[in-house]
Structures are given as C-alpha cells and as structure tokens.
Structure 1
C-alpha cells in the first residue's frame, strides 16, 4: 500500500514596492519581491530561495543518510550555484560542492553521495528539469 503524498503549506504576502515575506512552520522569512530597482537586493529572491531549498535538501538528507548508514561526521558545508537563462526563463543547471568533515573511508563518502542523489526530494525534482551535478569532498577532522 502506498502512503499518501506529504503536503507542505507556505503563506506569502507582499506590499507594493517589493517588501515581501513567506511564512512556513511558524517562521517568517523576509524575501525580495522588488522589480526594476537599480539597487541590488539585500534579501534573497526566488532564485536564492530555490538554491536554498536545494541546499537544505542536501544537508537534511546527509543527516538522514548518517542515521540510516551509521555514517559518522562532525560537520558539513555545501556551496550551491544555480544558473538560469532569460529566454525562456528557467534554471538550466545546478552545481554543488558538499564538504563533510569525517574520518569515514572514501567508499562510505561515495555511498552517502549516492544516497543524497537517490533520495533527495528537492534534488530529484530539480534534476528532472535541469542538469544537476556536484561533488562530495571528505575533509579530515582536525587533530587536537
């Protein structure tokens, strides 16, 4: 028997001039919804929020893989670059580098990377519509 799909709800609101926010799970996130301003925005816009969702997916699934595969790590950092084109407007590529501080052997790091690609909901959704490519780098813990 297949489980019912999960549902996620987000509320957004804006005022004329581009001041906007989204609310999810009781947290309000201010966003840039301005258009045509000469000043660079100081808040994340839709593109950065999409890249942020991808980043969150990677980190959450690292924690999931850590628990399921008994993969020990101290910390992780990920850099994501999303590339878009103007005509037609769409994302064409997402690249990432995930750095994991771990003493695990490379074959286990590769296994975690395989799991991140296979089981990430946001990862798979974006990979279905644009190129997604990246690396996972193991960083040895500092000896101290």
Structure 2
C-alpha cells in the first residue's frame, strides 16, 4: 500500500471534483510547483490509486428518468455458470453495474430505463429470460443524496 500524505489527499480531492485539471492548475491551487504536481499524479497512477478518468453523464437529461437497483438470486446456484451469467448480463446496455454480492441475493444490478414501462420491458424481455435467473427484487431509486467520493 502506498503511503499518502496531505498533498496526495488534496490532489485526489481536487481531481475527483474535476479530473480534467492540468498539473499546472493543480499546482497553483495547492501551492506546489507544476512539476511536483505532475510527479505526484504520476506516482498515484503508477501505484494504481488513480485508475483512470470517468465521464459522468446526466441520465435524466439523456432521457433515462428511472434508475432501479435489482437484486438477482440465481435459481440453481451450483448448476449455473457464473461467468456465462455475468457475460450475458453485462451485454445488456441498460444494466450499468453488476456486483456479485454475499447475502440474500447473488447479484446486485443498477439498471437505467426511460420510464417504468421501459424498465418492465428490460426486465421481462432481457433480464428474466437469462438462464439461471431465479428470484428478483427491484428497488426504484427516488433520489440520490450523496455520490461516492474520496475517502
């Protein structure tokens, strides 16, 4: 594990807020030189702490007004090929995340849809038709108060 100091943490917070900032902008913002900021960013990348840049889309602006968390329990756990299920479920574009979890359900999915009728179509025609799918439980997201950020 790479030891992080206060400057590293400030760089992470700043990049989380805006990953497009240049090392010169970060240096000015944090009171360090541009080369030092660049070296620090490179070290965080090399250590795997900065694992890439993400683009955040405004889903409602794109017409996806419904987000659903779906718990999926596989029907016959020992008989289902998990890799085949994961490959099939990740091929569905409305399924944004697939998490293999321990608990009541085997998988937790984050699904986007234009509206409830569109979600029902995705659920009935795409998700429930996959081999091995047993029970499902849907929770519609009403609001999101906090998004994940730097620890």
Structure-2-length-normalised TM-score? 0.30
- Point out the structure with max Rg over C-alpha: 2
Task: Report the TM-score, using the length of structure 1 for normalisation.
Answer: 0.31
Q: 1 or 2, which has the higher helix percentage?
A: 2
Higher relative contact order (CA 8 A, sep 6+): 2
Q: Which is richer in strand? A: 1
